[in-house]
Amino acid sequence: MLNLLKREIPCYHINDVEKIIHHTSQIISETIPNSKGLVLTGGKSTRMGKDKSELNYHGKPQKEFIKKLLEQEGLKTYYSVQTNNNKDDEIHDVFLNLGPFGGICSAFQKDPNSAWLVLATDLPFVDKNLVKLLLEKRNPAKVATAVIGKGKQFPEPLITIYEPKSYSILLQYLAQGYSCPRKMLINSDVEIVEVEDNLIRNINTPEEYNAAIKELN
């Protein structure tokens, strides 16, 4: 904000519409928080019987595939993990035993000034087009920008961009004993991006995994 105040304010003729639009857009873009990526890998995967983040749908572990999707869009991306492995590309949970909610809050504790695009690893049909769409539809004026299936009633909290302002709201919910990010989204001012249900299907069992592999290949 200080840099904006120190900057020389240009003067435009009222007919210089394109220059005015360009200048205004530049100022707006500079005040929008940067986005970073968070790949949630800390799930117990009890129904699958193995770590879902390590499953191979696209020629590599799903966590690596998701991380690459986000990095291709220019997002500095981290894995959300339960334990501290002292790795630069990991954020370990400091909000313990809270599942995805704890992972999201831990990311905000690391960097409360960035927006976080959160993606789970049990969503193998999420592709680069969906990620691009979510980023294009991002509304920084809202608490978050979330995906919802056309046939669904509620947004999907693990395919969502959480703005910095959502951190304090998440903490308020936690103080009241709630640790469900969907509950926060449902009760907050959120930008909704509607997509086909098929793109956001969760894969939770070996049978679903085998069916997904056949469909993807």
CATH of the domain at 71: 3.90.550.10
Asked if the structure places residue 115 within a domain, the reply is yes
The β-bridge partners of 156 are 147
pTM for the complete prediction?
Answer: 0.85
Nearest-5° Cα angle at 37, 52 to 106: 80
Please give the backbone phi and psi of residue 91, each rounded to the nearest 5 degrees, phi first. -120, 115
Phi, psi angles (nearest 5°) of residue 197: -55, -35
| Residue 199, number of CB atoms within 10 A of its CB | 18
In tens digits, the chain (217 residues) has pLDDT values of 444 444 466 776 666 666 556 555 455 445 788 999 999 996 667 888 888 999 999 999 999 999 999 999 999 999 999 888 889 999 999 998 899 999 999 999 999 999 999 999 999 999 999 999 999 999 999 999 999 999 899 999 999 999 999 999 999 999 999 999 999 999 999 999 999 999 999 999 999 999 999 998 8
Residue 109 lies in a domain: yes
Question: ∠ CA(193), CA(187), CA(69), 5° rounding?
Answer: 35
Residue 135 lies in a domain: yes
Range of the domain at 113: 33-216
- How far, CA to CA in Å, does 204 sit from each of 31, 59, 123, 137, 144? 40, 19, 9, 28, 26
The answer to whether position 16 is within a domain reads: no
178 SS3 class: coil
Residue 6 lies in a domain: no
Q: What share of the chain is helix, strand, coil (3-state, %, to 5)?
A: 40, 20, 40
Choose among 165, 166, 49: nearest CA to 157: 166
Total structural domains in the chain? 1
Position 132 in a domain = yes
Give strand ranges (E) for 169-212: 190-195
* Token reading at 160: 């969502």
Q: Is residue 70 part of a domain?
A: yes
